[in-house]
Amino acid sequence: MAFSLRLSAIRFRFFRITETRRLIADSRPKNKNMETKQKNNPLHGVTLENIVNHLVAYYGWEKLGELINIRCFNYDPNVKSSLSFLRKTPWARTKVELLYMKSLRDIAKAEKLKIAKNNEI
């Protein structure tokens, strides 16, 4: 009798421990690196189409073709052909992403100067 009570107590503890571990595991984020990895990434959540559209609006096709010498920007440029080329070639995509981040810095710098001028007046 004492043996069976002891065995049931051990089973109960084991069940509680495994259940607690399962609950703790379920409450943790599935991919810890995903939270910290994307924390300082300015391109996180921005699609390639948005990047290309932003660059076209900011620079125009002609200037964009001068800055990044890619055939899809220089000859018969359009968003669809640019996207298909940039998705296939990582080196070109990297150049476009870097130019996008540079344009964002330029815009932020221009806004700071504008605010500074307004504060002086």
Domains held by the chain: number: 2
What average pLDDT does this structure show over 17-22?
57
Q: Which segment, 3-17, 32-46, 64-78, is predicted with the most confidence on average? A: 64-78
Task: Assess whether 70 and 21 both reside in one domain.
Answer: no
Using DSSP's 3-state secondary structure scheme, residue 49 falls into helix
Determine the structural domain holding residue 20 and report its residue range.
2-35
| CATH number for the domain that contains residue 98 | 1.10.720.30
Residue 11 has a pLDDT of 58
95 in any annotated domain: yes
Are 88 and 97 within 8 A, CB to CB?
no
Residue 115 has a pLDDT of 85
Task: Assess whether 81 and 104 both reside in one domain.
Answer: yes
41 in any annotated domain: no
23 in any annotated domain: yes
Tokens (6 digits) for 90: 């990582």
Spell out the residues 6+ positions from residue 82 whose beta carbon is closer than 8 angstroms to its own: 52, 70, 72, 73
40 in any annotated domain: no
